[in-house]
Structures are given as structure tokens and as C-alpha cells.
Amino acid sequence: MSLIIIGSVALDDIETPFGKVEKIVGGAAPFACLAASYFYDKVKIVAIVGGDFPKSEIDIWKAHQIDIAGLQIAEEEKSFHWSGKYHIDMNSRDTLKTGLNVLESFDPIIPDSYQDCEFLLLANLTPQTQQTAIKRLQKRPKLIVLDTMNFWMDVALNDLIETIKLVDVLTINDAEARQLSGEYSLVKAAKKILKMGPNYLIIKKGEHGALLFHEEQVFSAPALPLAEVFDPTGAGDTFAGGFIGYLAKVGTINFHNMKNAVVYGSALASFCVEKFGTERIKNLKSAEIAERVQEFVNLSSFNIEN
Ligand code: AMP
């Protein structure tokens, strides 16, 4: 039994009101794999990097027991490069550059040792590549989670719609839910998106938490009110990794476990934004994760007095 995470691995240039960094490790897969590794010890990555990618970073993944048999290193090429700039409210950002580089011709090879996959996270990547990964698994995993972004809605909408049909859970943010459905109301948007294929839909609302939709049920998870958000990059990927990592640990898929998974994912994401890139989520202690989850519980639990 294992959890495969396929996604971009990047070198990012990021500017926030707190500072500017260049060529730091980012991309969907590192955030998601690190987050999942706190819950589950059979996390396997499928990704590609160029010769410019720091080997020391790969050693950190190995130290987190992340299996790298599916990591391709194209020595002669450049890693995927993304650059973004956040504004003062940190909820909106401008993508300044997306340099696909190695991602342009990425062929997601699934090693034989990965065929025991029961949980699959299709983290942010070309929808076509995400689809290929599903088709290359000999047995359909018990749970397929898809994370994507507006970029793919703009440049590959038809492929994305075909991919969405194949998955159990879709995670997107509020603006993306509105773009995908053409509905402003998130409740109406969720109804339309659930008809597109997935059984569960998670709409992330940044500092306003996340909504989980399933049939007629809705669950609302808060976000931790943080005094300082340093760099929101990767919060969504960290959420997705924590979410599926928790589900892989408990093993059973139902609405109750999904609700807990949303809270665990949100807790991990709240750490991610405290520092640049993957810095904060590289060295978390289980006690601090448990404490953070308890803060989430305290934040929204109340008794109604009659
Ligand atoms: P998030 O903040 O969760 O949306 O994730 C940000 C990460 O996604 C950054 O580290 C980027 O390198 C990566 N990223 C940005 N654009 C794309 C894209 N079009 N495809 C895959 N990954 C991307």
C-alpha cells in the first residue's frame, strides 16, 4: 500500500511585502510530499527536475522517507521555473513568469515498485500528464485527489475537464471554482462541479478557511487567524498533501474522515505560510502538529445554551 504524489517541482522567485527570494525550491510536489510524510511513511514521488536542482533538497525528501524512484533528473535541462508577486493583502498574487522547461516534455514514468498505490494525489501539473499517470496504474487507486489551478483552466480547459471526470476529490480555490463553474455563489458552483465527476469537492478560501462538499452535505473548516502571513506560496499544495496523507493513514474513506483530513490539511498549511517556500514544513514536530490541530478545534467548537 502506498501514496503516490505526482506534481511540479520548481525553482521559484517570490516577492512578498516581507522580502524577495530567488530560485528557492517550490512546486506542488515538494510541499505536498513533505506535508503527507508527517502522517504516512509510504509516500512516493513522481516528478521531474533539471540538472540545476539542488541535490541537498532531494536528501531532505529521503530523510522524510519519501521514495524517489519516480523522480527523473534531466541533467542537461532546466527545472520548471515560476515567479510570483504577492500584494499587501496576501490573498492575491500575480504570476510574473511560468517557465515550463522540463515539464514541457515530462513523461510520468511509474516505477513497478509504485504499482501498490492505493492513494493518488495529482498535484498541480499539466492535466494531460495527470491523466497519463492515472492510466499507467494497473489497478485504480482507492482514492484519487486532483489539485489544479487557474493557469490550466486558461490553457488546457478541455483536458482538465476530462481529468476531473476520473477523480474522487477535486481541490481548488474559490476564484477557480467560480471560473470553472461560471457561478459566483460557491454553493451553486459546488453543485455544478460535483456533476462534472468528483464525489467530493474542496473549495479553499485562503485566510477564510475551506469548504468540503459531498452530495447534500457541507463542512466548513476555519483557517487559523495568524498575525503574520509571510509567504502563502504552496499553502494549497501543503493542504492537499496533509489531507491525503491523513486519509492514507486512517485508510477509510467517509465524510467523517474527510472532515478530519480537511482540518489536518489546514493545520499543515498554516505552518507553510510562516516562512518562505518549504522552509517551515521541513522540520515539524508531531507535538506541534497536534497542538496546532487542537487550536483549530478550539477555534470553532461551541455549545449552544438553551
Ligand atoms: P500554490 O501556492 O499552492 O498555488 O502553489 C504554488 C506552487 O505551485 C509554486 O511553488 C509554483 O512553483 C507551483 N506552480 C505555479 N504555477 C504552476 C503550474 N502552472 N503548474 C504546476 N505548478 C505550478
What are the residue ranges spanned by the domains of the chain? Answer: 2-299
User: How many angstroms separate the alpha carbon of residue 299 from the centre of ligand 1?
Assistant: 29
* 287 burial type by CB count under 10 A (0-12 exposed, 13-18 middle, 19+ buried): exposed
* Three cell numbers written together for 49: 527536475
Q: What is the pTM of this model?
A: 0.96
Which of 233, 270, 273, 279 gets mutated to test ligand 1 (max ligand atoms within 8 A of its CB)? 233
C-alpha 257/C-alpha 283 separation (Å) is: 26
Give the position of cell 533528473.
73
Residue 231 CB contacts under 8 Å (≥ 6 apart), including other chains: 14, 16, 18, 86, 273, 275, 276, 277
Q: Is the CB of 176 under 6 A from ligand 1?
A: no
Mean pLDDT of the chain: 96
- Span 153-157, mean pLDDT? 96
Q: Is the CB of 198 under 6 A from ligand 1?
A: no
Ligand 1 atom index nearest CA of 151: 19
Which pLDDT score, from 0 to 100, does residue 248 have?
98
Which pLDDT score, from 0 to 100, does residue 18 have?
86
Q: Is the CB of 269 under 6 A from ligand 1?
A: no
User: How many angstroms separate the alpha carbon of residue 244 from the centre of ligand 1?
Assistant: 18
Q: Is the CB of 243 under 6 A from ligand 1?
A: no
User: What one-character-per-residue DSSP string does the chain give?
Assistant: -EEEEE---EEEEEEETTEEEEEEEESHHHHHHHHHHTT-S-EEEEEEEETTS-HHHHHHHHHTT-EEEEEEEETTSPPEEEEEEE-TTSS-EEEEEEE-GGGGG------GGGTTEEEEEE-SS-HHHHHHHHHT-SS--SEEEEE--HHHHHH-HHHHHHHHTT-SEEEEEHHHHHHHHS-SSHHHHHHHHHTTS-SEEEEE-GGG-EEEEETTEEEEE-----S-----TTHHHHHHHHHHHHHHHH---SHHHHHHHHHHHHHHHHHHTTSSTTGGGSS--HHHHHHHHHHHHHHH------
User: How many angstroms separate the alpha carbon of residue 264 from the centre of ligand 1?
Assistant: 21
Domain 2-299 sits in CATH at 3.40.1190.20
- Span 261-280, mean pLDDT? 96
Q: Is the CB of 273 under 6 A from ligand 1?
A: no
Q: Is the CB of 10 under 6 A from ligand 1?
A: yes
Give the pLDDT confidence of 230-267 residue by residue, as tens digits.
899 999 999 999 999 999 999 999 999 999 999 999 99
Ligand 1 atom index nearest CA of 239: 3
Q: Is the CB of 149 under 6 A from ligand 1?
A: yes
Which pLDDT score, from 0 to 100, does residue 89 have?
81
